[in-house]
Amino acid sequence: MTKISPKVFQFKIKLCDITPMIWRRVHVLSDSTFGDLHYVIQDAMGWEFSHLHEFTALNPKTEAWDRIASSDEVAEEGMGDLISQDSVTIGSYFSLGNKKAEYTYDFGDNWEHEIILEKILDVADGVKYPLCVAGKRACPPEDCGGVWGYYNLVKILSDPKHEEYESMLEWCGKFVPEEFYPKEVCLNSRT
């Protein structure tokens, strides 16, 4: 039996409800699990792996929306409808006919991400996957209070005379919303 070689899925990951848009373009092997994709999103966006998360993806076999999360979350009482992210590959869900899924991170701040399969590519010789190949704007700081808190933070940091400027600067350090450098992203935290 011949083993089918994986393909490269080019995804655009957009952080929802923020304008101007914060997004990343990544290349991930099709035989990667949703657990692997979780690590890619965390690293590419700049999150810190500090909170629970969940994928929602259309299952092409059942045509139902599956909830996919970490094994720890699946094992919790009352979470029986979750599928372990390490038990299913992204290639078993995504296709050019089934391009979208959602990823929610931090159920307090509720960061929602739209995942869009843009292209399916051949594996390039000598390239180590996954890769972050493009993106725009810095990810919001962890625990900043969701979309509303992010907008408030940006407003405060844009005005050095604001009464909360010094405390916010001390809390989050140098944060420049417009800066993002794809070449500085390392997507190998799981390996």
Summarised one tens digit per residue, pLDDT across range 5-48 is 899 999 999 999 999 999 999 999 999 999 999 999 999 999 99
| Domain segments of the chain as ranges | 8-138+178-184, 140-175
**Strands 65-69 and 82-84, bridge-based pairing:** parallel
In the prediction, which pLDDT does 72 show?
A: 72
For the domain spanning 8-138+178-184, the CATH number is 3.10.290.30
Stated pTM of the model: 0.92
Q: How confident is the model at residue 75 (pLDDT cuts 50, 70, 90)?
A: low
The burial class, CB within 10 Å (0-12 / 13-18 / 19+), for 77 is exposed
User: Helical H runs in 58-105?
Assistant: 71-75
Summarised one tens digit per residue, pLDDT across range 120-159 is 999 999 999 999 999 999 999 999 999 999 999 999 999 9
